Amino acid sequence: MTKDHHLFDRILDVTAYIAFGLLLFSWFSVCAEVIFRYFLRQPIIWVVEVTEYIIVQITFLGAAWLLRREGHVTVDVVTSHFSRKNQTFILMTTSAICVAMFLTITWWGAVATWGAYRENLYIPKQLGMPKFLVMLVIPLGSLLLAGQFLKRTRSALLTWRSLGNQSQKQEEES
């Protein structure tokens, strides 16, 4: 593993820890809100709104880490019948498409976030949160996803080439 890959993996670990911390904070906040609302008749007014923002943060901060662990749901009903080489080719191709897609989301997410910052937009709710603070995680998380899909594409390409070389050697031997 190169130094860059190691640094990238550590960044994904940090974002996953942040996402987990936000999840715990959200869980405890909601539990406290329920207790305060139903037992003390004093609801905590900011909990629902903050939890809404946290859900977005958790999604974009944890997605690349989850992809690195191959933890996303896959539907392989059709591809499970393909050869390993063809499965690897499909993985490589779909991963490359995802790199392009998430780089596009990164670009447009950064443009939209910058626009919200420049125009000083606020979310019209109880807390009046600056909109760019909530949006900032979208280009960041998308860039991390693009990076992880790029690593996945490279790995699949190397595996695909290796499988091609193995099948070529088997044909030569027979």
pLDDT digits (tens, 9 = 90+) for 141-161: 999 999 999 999 999 999 999
Higher pLDDT, 117 or 75: 117
The C-alpha torsion from 83 through 88 and 94 to 100, rounded to 10°, is -160
Model pLDDT, residue 146: 98
The encoded tokens of residue 105 equal: 């989301």
What pTM does this model have?
0.87
pLDDT of 36 strictly over 70: yes
State residue 1's pLDDT score: 60
Q: What pLDDT does 171 receive?
A: 64
Reduced to 3 states, what is the DSSP secondary structure of residue 18? Answer: helix
pLDDT in the model for residue 73? 81
Residue 173, pLDDT score: 67
